[in-house]
Amino acid sequence: MPLRDTSADHAATDRTFQVDLRGLVDLLSHHLYSSPRVYLRELLQNAVDALTARHAVEPHGNFGIRLYADGKVVRVEDDGVGLTEADVHTFLATIGRSSKRAERIAEQRADFIGQFGIGLLSCFLVADEIHVLSRSARTPDAPAVEWRGRGDGSYTVRTLPASARPRPGTTVTLTPRSDAGEWTRPQQVHALARHFGSLLRHPVTFDDGSGGEAAPVNPEPAPWARSFPTPGARSRALAAYGEEVFGFTPLDTIELDLPAVGLKGIACVLPEAVPAGRRHGHRVHVKGMLLSEQAEEILPEWAFFVRCVVDAESLRPTASRESLYEDATLAAVRDALAERLREWIARAAASDPDLLGRFLQTHHLAVKSLAVHDDEILRMLLPWLPFETTDGHTTLDEFARTHRTVLVTSSVEEFRQVAAIASAAGLGVVNGGYTYDRELVHRMPEIRPEVSVADLDPATLTAHLDPVDRETELAAAPYLTQARDALAVFDCDVALRTFQPASAPALLVDSREARHERTRSRLAREQEGGVWGDILGALRQEAPRAQLILNQLNPLVRTAVAIDEPELARTSAEALYGQAVMLSRRPLRPAESSLINRSFLDLLAHALRKDS
d(CA 530, CA 600): 40
Lowest-confidence pick of 40-44, 104-108, 525-529, 545-549: 104-108
Could you give the angle at the alpha carbon of 429 between the alpha carbons of 425 and 431, nearest 5°?
140
Residue 425 has pLDDT above 70, yes or no: yes
Residue 116 has pLDDT above 50, yes or no: no
Instruction: Evaluate the CA torsion angle 145, 146, 149, 154 in order and state its sign.
Output: negative
332-364 per-position pLDDT tens digit: 999 999 999 989 988 998 889 899 989 998 988
Q: Letter for the amino acid at 265? A: G
464-513 per-position pLDDT tens digit: 788 999 999 999 999 999 999 999 888 889 999 998 889 889 988 876 56
In 230-280, DSSP assigns E strands to 253-258, 263-269
Work out the average pLDDT over 22-44: 70
Residue 458 has pLDDT above 80, yes or no: no
The CA–CA distances, whole Å, from 62 to 52, 58, 141, 163 equal 12, 9, 21, 21
Highest mean pLDDT among 122-126, 309-313, 361-365: 309-313
pLDDT level of residue 574 (50, 70, 90 thresholds): very high
266 conformational bin, left if phi > 0, alpha if psi -120 to 50, beta if neither: beta
More confident residue, 443 or 537: 443
d(CA 288, CA 33): 20
More confident residue, 306 or 417: 306
Strand order in the sheet with 263-269: 253-258, 263-269, 306-312, 283-286, 289-292
Residue 537 has pLDDT above 90, yes or no: no
β-pair type (452-455, 405-408): parallel
Buried b (16+ CB within 10 A) or exposed e, 248-269: eebbbbbebebeeeebbbbbbb
387-415 per-position pLDDT tens digit: 999 999 998 889 988 999 999 998 888 88
In 101-140, DSSP assigns E strands to 127-135
More confident residue, 447 or 541: 447
CB of 132 within 8 A of CB of 174?
no
- Average per-residue pLDDT for the chain: 83
Strand order in the sheet with 386-389: 392-395, 386-389, 429-430, 405-408, 452-455
Residue 106 has pLDDT above 50, yes or no: no
pLDDT of 374 reads 82
pLDDT of 469 reads 92
CB of 379 within 8 A of CB of 402?
no
Work out the average pLDDT over 47-65: 91
The CA–CA distances, whole Å, from 109 to 60, 84, 98, 103 equal 20, 20, 11, 10
Residue 28 has pLDDT above 60, yes or no: no
Lowest-confidence pick of 102-111, 408-417, 531-540: 102-111
Q: Letter for the amino acid at 216? A: P
CB of 122 within 8 A of CB of 42?
yes
